[in-house]
Amino acid sequence: MKKILFGIFAHPDDEAFGPAGTLLMEAADGVEVQMVTLTLGEAGVNPDNVPNLMDVREKEWRESGRLIGARKLHYLGYKDGQLTNDSMVEIGRQLVDLITNEIRSAVDETEIELMTIDLNGVTGHIDHIVAARATCWAYYTLRKKDSRFKKVRLVCLPYQHAPEPNVDWIYMEPGRKENEIDEVIDARAYREQIIAVMRAHHSQRADCDQHLRNFGDSIGLNYFRVIT
């Protein structure tokens, strides 16, 4: 059965420092993976002091998509760090239009899934929260008229990796407890490919290094809440 998976995130590296293993596994299994970013991450760190961080991060994102095996990549044109309630509504509508257009020629037996960040934004970043809620709005809107929409996977952080609230930057909730996690994907066999995807985001290499330190041998274990 044909399957299309839309990975919808706020920033160019959100697919890398989270569900990269699952995306790689899905693409390797023949799933048509399409990646969507709301912004180009121009408010991110700029260690090389490039004058055009937006352009640099777009190139990095496209390389990440190539390494994952994504069939298409879509940038929605929003500004990093400036998403709001109003843009959440706009994004939801844009997603409905984009997805409707992309699945127009898909056969009736096609399964369609969406993937995004947890509704709490994991780190608490407002852009993440907007991406998650707009994605869920789009899913429920589309599912009303099309039974091919099967589920939304919400990328979450397990409690063992974040047992306490974190206020080093903005408020980050503790990770999800075992009874809140619906699905665990073990993509550790893709470890080297996952690291290559993360390294593709060279401008954000400090986050990559921190991710490797924090998760170690568990790189490739992806945790999801699932909406059906």
d(CA 37, CA 135): 12
What pLDDT is recorded for position 217? 93
Give the CA distances from residue 90 to residues 75, 121, 149, in Å, rounded to whole numbers and listed in that order: 14, 19, 21
Residue-range domain boundaries for the chain = 3-227
Which DSSP string corresponds to 138-184? Answer: HHHHHHTT-TTEEEEEEEE-BGGG--S-B-SSS-BPPPBPGGG--EE
Cα–Cα nearest to 109, from 72, 146, 140: 146
pLDDT tens-place string over residues 15-41: 999 999 999 999 999 999 999 999 999
Whole-prediction pTM value? Answer: 0.97
**Paired strand residues for 6:** 34, 114
Q: Which CATH superfamily is domain 3-227 in?
A: LmbE-like (3.40.50.10320)
CB atoms within 10 A of CB 185: 17
**Residues of the chain by 3-state class (helix, strand, coil), percent to 5:** 45, 25, 35
**pLDDT greater than 90 at residue 1:** no
Average of per-residue pLDDT across 127-137:
98
Residue in this structure with the two tokens 């990559």, named with its chain if needed: 208
**Mean pLDDT across the chain:** 97
Q: What is the pLDDT of residues 147-189, one digit of tens each?
A: 999 999 999 999 999 999 999 999 999 999 999 999 999 999 9
13 - beta bridge partners?
A: none
83-112 average pLDDT score: 96
Phi, psi of 133 (to 5 degrees): -70, -35
**Average pLDDT value for residue range 202-218:** 95
